[in-house]
Structure 1
């Protein structure tokens, strides 16, 4: 009887040490906003992009099945942390990606550091992720606030837009985007005349728009995203802001928001994206497959999630292991070469560097087919768009 009890105890300990059964496969979590202000910006479409990456990779790695799961964090850092902790501790998730919303991404970045798990942020913008908040297992993929400032902010200042007023989302992302753009404006000899902070998911922007209008700034910088940006632009039209001579700068605007606005409302907007579906044969091939599954063309968040998922799997294969240290090292070593980024590279602080593009939204008369929304104004080279590792403020690189 004693020997049976001893055997049972040893078996139980072995199970505990082995961790969850699902840890035998490779498990990836897509954690983002699927019901709120950023639901079109990333949402369930990013989940679909990740599944496409797994299918294109072949469905397994190191002889183990790859599984992708998803959850809606509702833009709440506490909820996101609770989900991520359960995924890591109980459900055997090896890597979390997408991570829309900067406050959420910063929280998961810290949790991943503590638990020695990999996260690859795609949907969140703050450059702090590879700056003062960098960590050994954290990566940042599609874009960041510094790159948007260089692309859209730099182009508009150069074109004579030297006075700015910011309408800023009242959380980490908005602050970072306003700061990075303001620094660049001042560096180029421009002035920031003021700013106003606006709660996430606001419905009425009228008082904020009136302040922006009365500032007489040449450029009103929209340091927000998703539905907050489209609602700002729609309400600005009601106040005749653009007709009155001021310009709107959508500092984080993607194809999803342009589609939501329609060309009549969005025409003439200048924006920076890291991906456009109609850029070349590779982007068209991927985007047409994505369209068949979702009924829409991908933006840089969805295409970036595909790229981040695919690159993670390549790193696992190259490492010959799911071990976090080994995979993180391979992610920093392997070049990124896919339909999202040709010749991309990952810096020691986890920042993936690749070219971005400055676009202007076409007039309705210029659009020749569905989703034909952009004309390219310039390429923003990756080494100009993103801070170098040594200039990023990341303590790992000192």
Structure 2
């Protein structure tokens, strides 16, 4: 993973050096900004860890790219678009940042993409997963890796549909990620001859999924899809087990589920969950 990050950051910083905003072309440094969630539902999956990993990758590179020293800035977007866009403008206009990295929260990712499109620079998103980022809202300055909602839906979602589970109920987080995941999953399920029998939108970072899960339970759907991420996923999964959804025969689909999430919910609560993993860090040498 360290070697992978070293290569990824090296390529990204070289691109940033070549294609940074006009005001940054005379920088003595290459400057990158880690725009992340340190305090909300994605803090465990990204958060301060994203900054630390960038620093480790930079350390492996010797602190320089193409002979120029690299500086790392970081900020907490707090899952608020106004804070994120203000930070992005400050970085590009004043701090001469060449590239912005991470950006968990698809709504914020898409908003920052438009700022980058207008002002220059580069955006490398690993946290935001909406497939529209590289689809309808594609930009030549925006790069997405690790996963997107199209890949996540077509992995485990297609497999469940192949198994004959045709009726689905969606618990989708109420912002861009949930909308993209619902649209991509609906395409997969419909193509397999299934249908979405119901859906409910859930607030971001809500601690209580009880009313939403009761609706999913009463729907009689064969599969309940948790179209959320981070702490929203772990909370909804724990509560789904408290209400006995899996014991009653309903399958759970987690659109994105990290190893840290499995450790957080425990083996018993994770039983029967099917998810798509973009990578597993120790799968091979």
TM-score (norm 1): 0.65
Contact 1:22 1:92 (C-alpha < 8 Å) held by counterparts: no
Correspondence for 1:149: 153
Separation in 1 of the partners of 2:65 and 2:132? 32
- 1:167 is paired with a residue whose SS is strand
Tell me by how many angstroms 1:175 deviates: 0.6
Equivalent pairs counted in the alignment come to: 264
Q: Which runs of 4+ in 1 moved over 6 A?
A: none
User: Which structure would you say has the larger Rg?
Assistant: 1
Contact 1:20 1:90 (C-alpha < 8 Å) held by counterparts: no
Contact 1:23 1:91 (C-alpha < 8 Å) held by counterparts: no
- 1:221 is paired with a residue whose SS is strand
The one of 221, 227, 231 aligned to 1:227:
231
Q: Is structure 2 residue 98 aligned with structure 1 residue 110?
A: no
Separation in 2 of the partners of 1:111 and 1:154? 35
Tell me by how many angstroms 1:267 deviates: 3.0
- 1:39 is paired with a residue whose SS is coil
- 2:71 is paired with a residue whose SS is strand
Q: For 1:166-177, what aligned pairs fall within 5 Å after superposition?
A: 166-177=170-181
Q: Deviations over 1:259-314 (max 9, x none)?
A: 21122211332211222122012xxxxxxxxxxxxxxxxxxxxxxxxxxxxxxxxx
Correspondence for 1:256: 260
TM-score (norm 2): 0.89
- 2:276 is paired with a residue whose SS is strand
Q: Is structure 2 residue 192 aligned with structure 1 residue 205?
A: no
Separation in 2 of the partners of 1:178 and 1:141? 20
Contact 2:24 2:97 (C-alpha < 8 Å) held by counterparts: no
Separation in 1 of the partners of 2:104 and 2:50? 10
- 1:82 is paired with a residue whose SS is helix
Tell me by how many angstroms 1:21 deviates: 11
Correspondence for 1:64: 68
Change (3 A) 1:22 1:40: farther
Q: Deviations over 1:1-43 (max 9, x none)?
A: xxxxxxxxxxxxxxxxx95799320111110111111100111
Correspondence for 1:372: none
Correspondence for 1:80: 84
Q: Deviations over 1:124-148 (max 9, x none)?
A: 0100101111111111111100000
Contact 1:23 1:93 (C-alpha < 8 Å) held by counterparts: no
Correspondence for 1:95: 99
Tell me by how many angstroms 1:188 deviates: 1.0
